[in-house]
Chains A and B, each alone.
Chain A
Amino acid sequence: MRNCEYQQIDPLALSVAPASVQNLTDKKAERLRRKWEVFPGKNRFFCDGRVIVARQSGVLPLTLGLIVVTCGLFFAFDCPFLVEHLTVFIPVIGGVLFVFVVLSLLRTSFTDPGILPRATLDEAADIEKQIDTSGSSSYRPPPRTKEILINQQVVKLKYCFTCKMFRPPRTSHCSLCDNCVERFDHHCPWVGNCVGKRNYRFFYSFIISLSFLTSFIFGCVIAHITLRSQSGKSLIQAIQESPARYPLMELVICFFSIWSILGLSGFHTYLVASNLTTNEDIKGSWSSKRGAEESGNPYTYNSILANCCVTLCGPMPPSLIDRRGFLSPEESVPTVSASEIEVPSFAAKNDANMCTQSTKDVLERMLHSSASYGLCLLGTPKTTPVGLEVTGAPARAAETSPTERCWHQTADAPCSPFSTSSTSDSIHSINPAFRLASPSPSLGRAMLVLDEAPDVSFIP
């Protein structure tokens, strides 16, 4: 077999309780599903796809809690005193900063960071065909990198086994969210989301405004305590007198926050000014110390102002994942399921494990999908004899009757064989057929692979 050295998905790990396939044909007319419902990454969606967060919310509630509590204490205990002794603008400024901080935080957390949708079956097959042009029967793992020239500098593009495409420059795959994110900066647990191309400016405004807010509150609390101690009392007495000693708590929170937030703001200001991402900076991608050649950042505009403008004030790119779009019959689940199942054919162990879990999730979702028969991966079996290729489907047309039956049913067809099969052979043999998802000019190779596939017995 061509892919006999590839990692296999453990079919037992994929065992999903098979839903009754017959019912699904009735459901297909019920309601159109939105694309977010079949999204393959580890994200959660709210408000019918309008809001997207990472699966693990991290410490976002803690972040919000700290901000709200600190500001609440500030408004409750410091503002009355300071309004009386200083100026009425103190709570106004505090209020504006607080609103700005919370809005930026929510915007960072709930915005799509620049997730790249995974490649469709046809695309993945086309890429594979291009990188494996030898077309020989001998097994060779696909090369993982591709070198391109960007602004006269050589940049390596890596192949993402999960998303089945060569990652664009500056794109990285976040293992927590299981997505490729454009201009990936980092996954921020405080914010509970990845920080990437689309929400970096929100993140930056969040940390800058938070720096101002914490510094402002810190200053106000110091002023409060100082003013109280000015009227002849000692500092300790002044603290004891202040309402419930809460200013002390604010002081402590602000003191520790300031060091970390100001440091982070400074670091990100440096990144913005040099048009770098945290990911690139940590890896030292453009550090001149690496290698013998001078390799500068190919994306910089060589001007601090230009870099800042581009990063923060550039045009707002659209979300590529189209969460709220409706699934049309032909473009539903197959792109996800087959691509997930196809992964182990040449994935490293980590990728295979990752994909097993995500494939299982996908299969579970698919079993409850109500997509129509048209999107059935396997096309119309009756008119497709074995050996022919079907777009987006393994050409196992005449295999067994259970398979045929499931093809006629719904899009859940692809998952039924996998969910019930208990032999590794079934996954094994399906792989080459899946790999040839799109009609390939090199039909000879297709025929060769299909002939080599062992017979599969599907259990309905």
Chain B
Amino acid sequence: MRPFKLWQQAAIAAKVFIQRDYTNGTVCQFQTKFPSELETRIDKQQFEETVRMLNNLYAEAEKLGSHSYIEGCLACLTAYTVFLCMETHYEKVLKKIAKYVQEQNDKVYAPRGLLLTDPIERGLRVIEVTIFEERSLTR
């Protein structure tokens, strides 16, 4: 893979996309299959752990429990005006996910020259993993 320079002053060698896993329906889950491009960069288990944790967080956001039903009924009774002043449960969990992604990037991925992009920035379609080529501009 040939590197090249971008405005970021770091060379992006490649991008890997982890696609959605729809085997359980339309809930937000990502495939845990380890992409071959990352084999040289990161431990398989480490990566799968990250994806599994993300999947768990999204499952928590979309969980159908008493909490979500109460929120739904309250919203209905107030003609949905309550959403204008209150943060939904999903939004709260999304903040948690953003923090987790940031933390993973700082601790695990950045030292290995990788960068995880929060899936919400890609419309919850993919987890984008950017592989950086360190230091050298050309090979």
Contact = CB atoms under 8 A, between A and B. Distances in A.
A169 interface: yes
A120 B7 contact: no
B24 A151 contact: yes
Contacts of B90: 315-318
A377 B83 CA distance: 38
A99 B79 contact: yes
B7 A329 contact: yes
Given A150-B23, A183-B26, A391-B15, A104 B79 contact: yes
Contact of A169 (B26, B72, B91): B26
B6 A380 contact: yes
A388 B15 contact: no
Contacts of B94: 318
| Interface size range on A against B | 35 or more
A123 B79 contact: no
B91 A439 contact: no
A165 B4 contact: no
Given A315-B89, A320-B120, A441 B14 contact: yes
Contacts of A120: 122
Interface in B65-84: 68-69, 71-73, 75-76, 79-81, 83
B123 A379 contact: no
A316 B63 CA distance: 11
A436 B25 CA distance: 32
A2 interface: no
A201 interface: yes
B54 interface: no
Interface string A82-121: 0000000000000000011001100100000000110110
B85 interface: no
A107 B22 CA distance: 30
B63 A383 contact: no
Given A379-B4, A389-B2, A390-B4, A315 B26 contact: no
B96 interface: no
Contacts of A313: 68-69, 71-73, 76
Nearest to B23: A149
Interface in A201-245: 201-202, 205
B25 A107 contact: no
Given A103-B80, A148-B23, A320-B120, A389 B4 contact: yes
Given A168-B20, A298-B25, A443-B2, A315 B68 contact: yes
B71 A315 contact: yes
A103 B13 contact: no
A318 B121 CA distance: 12
A117 B126 CA distance: 12
B80 A104 contact: yes
A148 B62 CA distance: 22
Interface string B110-129: 00000000001111111010
Contacts of A149: 23
B123 to A, nearest CB: 4
Contacts of B25: 150-151, 169, 298-299
A330 interface: yes
Contact of A315 (B1, B14, B64, B122): B64
The 10 closest A-B pairs by CB, nearest first: A313-B72, A374-B7, A103-B79, A117-B123, A320-B123, A315-B68, A316-B88, A122-B15, A313-B69, A315-B90
Given A312-B76, A322-B120, A330-B6, 14 more contacts: A100-B79, A155-B22, A157-B22, A169-B26, A313-B73, A314-B68, A315-B63, A315-B68, A317-B62, A321-B123, A322-B121, A379-B4, A441-B37, A443-B1
5 contacts: A168-B22, A170-B26, A316-B89, A384-B4, A439-B4
